[in-house]
Structure 1
Amino acid sequence: MDRALAFILMGLVGYGIGSIPVGYLVVRFARGIDIRDYGSHNIGFTNVLRVVGLGPGLITLAGDVLKGLLPTWWAAVVWGGRGQPWPVVAAALGAMLGHAYSAYFYARERRFTRGKSVATGIGALVGMALGHQIPWAGVILPAVMWAGVVFGPWLTSGRFGFVSLASILAAITVPVVLLLAGAAPPYLLFSVAAASFVAWKHKENFFRLLDGVEPRFGERVPVPAVDRDIVVCGFMIHPLTFDDFWQPRRFGWMRTLARYPLVRPAIDGLRLRIRPMKLDVVEGIRLADGRRVHVYLFGAPLLPEEIRRMPALAVKR
């Protein structure tokens, strides 16, 4: 088969398999709710774990790993052994893109869902290693990094670490390990592209880490459809003047740039593309009937007149 055709074919196969929304289907079957309406709105392991529990979370994790493993391993067996690494890379990238931008949801709703492709990327690396395309160190060392960041803090503080931080650091570890191990250039390029993609998909988590409001591993999110004794509501926090933008740490680094007139339009354009993000949660409130109230505080870099003029931006998710 022509190499270009093999590249396209395996990319499509990977994308098709990666588009299967395992977490969405598992939660629909287990709880009858749409996981995209809760927590971080993602369909992956971490959000399923927080919202629904360990069992559905583990099933989601296994399914997402297999989405990356199966097409990549197949491509590695068929083409990798013939000295054709690019179809293997295409299958891996296709699976990751399929998870993050599922054709399943686009066909039904004309919109993509939100996914970070970490588990699917892990599966792709395992498929490459099983197919003898990369050394196992490219899988094991990032996994050790992930586990150390998530479970290491528990040994000293009794609290788990942050999955988002662990995922970013583990993703960055992959190209470093493959470079030191002398992996073939196509796989090294894949690891750089995948690490960049994972880091970009975690940008909101990174901002929450800066502000100290990122949930830790294992922290559960109340689900109104399941937790009948909890009432969930939201409260929007937004700046009143342009100078108020820099109060959160996630935006404070832009204060110096905003002083330059040529940069101001770019910052304004960036602001209008940022979705409202969770800043904190207020607890300890009880209603007369005994139900607990969780008030989620959301922040958006929008001025009052901008919210009145473009109200859809204030509720964009």
Structure 2
Amino acid sequence: MTQYLEFEKPLAEIEGKAEELRALARQNEDMDVADEAAALDGKADVLLQDLYKNLTPWRKCQVARHPDRPHCNEYIDTLFTEYTPLAGDRNFADDHAVMGGLARFGDQPVMVIGHEKGSDTKSRIARNFGMARPEGYRKAIRLMDMAHRFNLPVITLVDTPGAYPGKGAEERGQSEAIARSTEKCLQIGVPMVSVVIGEGGSGGAVAFATTNRIAMLEHSVYSVISPEGCASILWKDSEKMREAAEALRLTAQDLKQLGVIDRIIPEAVGGAHRAKEATIASVGKAISGMLADLSSKDAKALIADRRAKFIGLGQSGLAA
């Protein structure tokens, strides 16, 4: 059953009426509603096109958070073979908000790491809604070290509201773990590519996305803070999240223009959740293209490329 977002309510009404007609026809074989249902379907298609033609930044946030968007585990199951999950940070615990391990992407052995939000109430609680604790970032560091040691490209899939802000996480060194994960991204001499598949929230995303090449799905977002958090700080009113979303420049289109990301991956009209298989295939093509861009570079060149990319962002920002 489709879950509709707030701004999709008119669409929900039309599609609901079409489904009601079909349900009546199933109960009464003599009832012919094909023309009426088809007309409603056509009206719904036009409305869907109109709704998604020029999404505001806040509406893009809503789409990026849609619970039915493809999640990290779905990308791994579809795009990778021989996936062998690796668990634990060898220090405290295994963080289920972060999944990662050895796999093959096509015929190439790789290390894949990503945030997993979960797909139902039970799994979302187990995965902490994709908000990693320090042990999650330390697990990622361990896997990146292993990839460096065995000369394996690293692919990261980013989808998190941000790092978990709980008391225990802070006591175990949340900020230090995020900083060291970001540092490790800049140190390892293997190709690193990242895709923001939903939310790219704060340092929790940067710790996985400080890579040679970064792509974003068309309706994903990537920002230093959530619009609600920004509104609470600047205006003392979280209801001003629409204004905050505009100011944060968090859409894929804004970030491509600013040079923060390298490519935008198109989504189906209505968002990735309406065409999961096509979206996952598009992400796979983007990953393949980004890895191909880096295939000729040696370890020193890869590290230099990564450092220059992020130092350059600061310089362009100052110039602007």
The reply to whether TM is greater than 0.5 is: no
Q: Give the structure-2-normalised TM-score.
A: 0.24
Q: Give the structure-1-normalised TM-score.
A: 0.24
Q: Which has more helix, going by share of residues? A: 1
